[in-house]
């Protein structure tokens, strides 16, 4: 059961990171302040990397849970 829980946690973190990517891209399209510059793009890129990493971690935890059960 432990690895099933980790899989759910990593999936939730991945979905949160995907939401962050969308949010930062929207801020890039329509910034409230011109001083943001390209910072939202860097944040979107970092969030995309985290989304992929958490997605892979979720798949790894799911495979490990199947092996244990």
pLDDT given at position 69: 66
Query: pLDDT digit string (tens) for 32-43?
Result: 988 999 999 999
Work out the burial of residue 37: count CB atoms within 10 Å of its CB; fewer than 13 is exposed, 13-18 middle, 19 or more buried: exposed
The sign one gets for the Cα dihedral 47, 49, 50, 55 is positive
pLDDT given at position 13: 97
Question: Cβ distance 43 to 20 under 8 Å?
Answer: yes
pTM comes to 0.88
Cα 38 to Cα 52: distance, rounded to the nearest angstrom: 22
Query: pLDDT digit string (tens) for 3-20?
Result: 899 999 999 999 999 999
Predicted confidence (pLDDT) at residue 1 exceeds the cutoff of 80: no
């Amino acid at each position: 059961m432990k690895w099933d829980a980790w899989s759910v946690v990593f999936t939730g973190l991945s979905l949160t990171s995907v939401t962050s990517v969308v949010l930062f891209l929207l801020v890039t399209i329509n910034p409230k302040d011109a001083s943001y510059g390209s910072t939202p793009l860097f944040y979107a890129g970092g969030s995309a990397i985290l989304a992929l990493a958490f997605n892979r971690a979720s798949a790894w935890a799911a495979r490990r849970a199947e092996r244990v059960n």
